[in-house]
Amino acid sequence: MRITKFGHACIRLEHDAATVVVDPGMFTDPAALTGADAVLITHEHVDHFEEAGLRAALEADPALRVWTNSAVAAQLDGLAQRVTVVGEGDAFEVGGIGVSVHGEWHAVIHPDIPLVKNVGFLFDGRIFHPGDALTVPPHTVETLLLPVAGPWTKVSELIDYVREAGPRQAVPVHDAVLSPLGLAVHSRLLGPGGPGTGAELTALGDGESLDLG
């Protein structure tokens, strides 16, 4: 199984003949969707869901399918037969990759800002993408895709989240809002230079891949 980072929160996951893309938003190179079998979207914010780009990909590839929550699905009118609504506790399969769904809500940005729905995706019980939430997967996973920077994140909470989730490794995502210096500071605090999370921090640059065996 291989994961490739395609900017900000977007991950392309490949296993055998199946390719799944998670959260191709406004910061994502459209090439991330080339040859994909499925697109999974955690929530409606534009850095995770860019409607025009997704519609273009669906038009270009009649076999492409989408799994997402009800709020995103409602914006993809006219595509109901190609979009499956999922929520907490659901499970499905894409080309032999088992996917289970966990979580319900986006993390709180501010009490005055309404919450939006957010779902996390667990792949083959090994790799978890929580979207914009600190949802703890149902069991210890090999790889946690860790959202490290946004208007709702706090480093101390991220450290405690990784400790609670207990993955073998954490791969930073959701980092487009950080300068190179900011990313270095976050990486130090979440890695060996910080108080410790119990997980190895494995950083990927845009376009870089990680083979998980």
Over range 39-51, report the average pLDDT: 98
Q: What is the pLDDT of residue 88?
A: 98
In contact, 153 and 186? CB cutoff 8 Å: no
Over range 13-26, report the average pLDDT: 96
Instruction: Give the start-to-end residue ranges of the domains of the chain.
Output: 2-204
In the predicted structure, residue 167 carries a pLDDT above the cut 90: yes
Tell me the pLDDT tens digit for each residue of 84-130: 999 999 999 999 999 999 999 999 999 999 999 999 999 999 999 99
CATH class of this structure's domain 2-204: alpha beta
What are the angstrom distances between the C-alpha of 201 and each of 37, 78, 147, 166, 187?
A: 29, 41, 12, 12, 8
CA distance 193 to 195: 7
pTM above threshold 0.85: yes
In the predicted structure, residue 80 carries a pLDDT above the cut 90: no
In the predicted structure, residue 213 carries a pLDDT above the cut 80: no
Tell me the pLDDT tens digit for each residue of 124-151: 999 999 999 999 999 999 999 999 999 9
Q: How confident is the model at residue 184 (pLDDT cuts 50, 70, 90)?
A: very high
